[in-house]
Amino acid sequence: MRHRVAGRRLGRDSEHRLAMRRNLVASLFEHETVSTTIEKAKEVKPFAEKLITLAKKGTLPARRRAISMLGNRAIVTEEDGKVTKQGTVVGKLFSELGPRYLDRNGGYTRIIRLSLKRLGDNGQLVLLQLLGEDEKPAPKEKKTKKGSSKKAKKAVAVEEVVEAEPVEEAAVDDKPEETTEESQEDKQQ
């Protein structure tokens, strides 16, 4: 029995799980989006967020700790048959991703379910993505008493209706102006 044993086995031994987690997170940092199964994504998400939190510190000990946890895989691209090195995963983590999330207190990744199933074992596929710079966290409402937020939402809805009514009245006021112009033309004749 596995009472109070954290984590998923994922059909692998411990060394294979560690290697899979490192490779998946390195690919996530390199490409900023990865397609995988829901179980792997849920297992990898906390690891990726801990590394981004280390990158936000930006210190040398934090960089060394990230290298020990993740490894320092090179980012390479192939152009015209030539393989060129673009940098390292940890370098990108500390130079681009860490500063991107300085004003964010967690929640750097998201899991988007896809309608596709994996052909071999019918596993649920998802996209594991890093959030972009333009996506800000939604402000949370503070609740003081039970039901107070419902009353506030109703009050906002009533205010929107009240603001919408004068716009409708302005449209009605346009018609009498046309009739007054017609009556002025009749007076001139």
Residue located via tokens 């205010």:
159
| H or E element that contains 77 | strand 74-79
Does some domain include residue 167? yes
pLDDT value, residue 28: 96
Q: Which of 98, 130, 162 is the last residue of a domain?
A: 130
pLDDT mean values, one per 10 residues, the chain (189 residues): 90 94 96 95 96 95 96 91 93 95 94 93 95 73 62 58 51 52 59
pTM over 0.85? The answer is no
Q: Which of 104, 130, 156 is the last residue of a domain?
A: 130
Does some domain include residue 6? no
Rounded CA separation 114/131 (Å): 17
Q: Are residues 86 and 61 in the same domain?
A: yes
pLDDT value, residue 145: 64
Beta-carbon neighbour count of residue 34 at 10 Å? 23
Does some domain include residue 4? no
**Domain range for 177:** 141-189
Q: Are residues 44 and 124 in the same domain?
A: yes
Q: Are residues 28 and 120 in the same domain?
A: yes
- The torsion of the CA quartet 56, 97, 105, 9, rounded to 10 degrees, works out to -100
Give the residue among 19, 73, 72, 85 at the shortest CA–CA distance from 47. Answer: 19
pLDDT value, residue 168: 47
Does some domain include residue 1? no
